Structure 1
Amino acid sequence: MRFHTRKWVKPEDLNPNGTLFGGRLLEWIDEEAALYSIIQLENPKTVTKYISEIDFQSSAKQGDIVEIGIQVIKFGTASLTLKCEVRNKMTRKPIIKVDKIVMVSLDEHGKAKPHGKTQVEFVKDRLADE
């Protein structure tokens, strides 16, 4: 799994218990999955279709640095299926795992659009081809 993004847990990210609010963490995960998928599918009109059961394994507190990892599970015709793990950057302790996130590429009418992708591509490799 590649960890792409780091977030610093700030006071506005906390719940009344003084730990990272789960809703904020899910927002970060959804945004990371969207950005990753948009880049992979080369389509800014890519949306979240499905997020599976999530498993909160530990918490984070103010001042912690968390990192978000994304891994491709499968390329569909118009979709990309991912899994995600968020962990504490310093301790590497898992905070949350999401087994399945399905992102869908859309056309200008909001309908599923085949993307033609079959494997992970890196932007640096695309640029080398130009």
Structure 2
Amino acid sequence: MRFHTRKWVKPEDLNANETLFGGRLLGWIDEEAALYSIIQLENRKVVTKYMSEINFMSSAKQGDIVEIGIEVVHFGKSSITLKAEARNKMNRVTILTIDQIIMVNLGDDGKPKPHGKTKIEYVKDRLGEAS
């Protein structure tokens, strides 16, 4: 799994137990999944359709650095299925895992649109093709 994003846990990210609020972490993961999908599918109109069971394994506290990893599980006709992991950057302890996040590619009409993708593409490779 490649870890793309790092977030610093600040006071406004904490719950009543003074640990990272789960909803904040899920928001960060949803945003990362959307950004990853937009880049892979080359379309800004992508929405979250589904998240499977969310497995909280540990917590984070103020000052911790959380890194978020995303990996492609499957390319559908108009969707991309990802899995995610959030972990503490300093000690590599897993905070949370999600086995499936389904993101759907949309057309201008707001309906699912086939994307034609079958494998992960890296921006550097796309740029190489254009040359």
Smaller-chain TM-score range? Answer: over 0.9
**1:86-107: CA deviation from partner (whole Å, max 9, x where unpaired):** 0000100000000000000000
Q: Does 1:2 align with 2:22?
A: no
User: 1:126: which partner in 2?
Assistant: 126
Instruction: Specify the alignment match of 1:36 in structure 2.
Output: 36
Separation of aligned partners in 2, 1:38 and 1:16:
34
The residue that corresponds to 2:47 in the other structure is 47
* Secondary structure in structure 1 of the residue aligned to 2:24: helix
Structure 1 position 69, deviation (Å): 0.3
Looking at structure 1, the residues matched to 43 and 18 of structure 2 have their Cα atoms a distance apart, in angstroms, of 38
Q: How far apart, CA to CA, are the structure 1 residues paired with 2:52 and 2:110?
A: 23
Identity of aligned residues (%): 73
What displacement does 1:34 show?
0.1
| Structure 1 match to 2:71 | 71
What do residues 52-84 of structure 1 show as CA deviations (whole Å, max 9, x unaligned)? 110000000000001000000000000000000
TM-score (norm 2): 0.99
Q: Return the alpha-carbon distance in structure 1 between the equivalents of residues 62 and 124 of structure 2.
A: 35
5 Å matches for 1:88-103? 88-103=88-103
Residues 11-39 of structure 1 show CA distances to partners (whole Å, capped at 9, x for unaligned) of: 00000110000000000000000000000
Partners of 1:65 and 1:124 lie apart in 2 by: 28
Distance (Å, rounded) in 2 between the aligned partners of 1:103 and 1:57: 24
**Structure 2: runs of 5 or more not aligned:** none
Amino acid at match of 2:36: Y
Q: Distance in 2 between matches of 1:120 and 1:41?
A: 9
Number of residue pairs the alignment of both structures matches = 130
Aligned residue identity for 1:48: T
C-alpha RMSD of matched pairs (Å): 0.4
Q: Which 5+ residue runs of structure 1 have no aligned equivalent? A: none
CA distance in 1 between partners of 2:10 and 2:119 (Å): 36
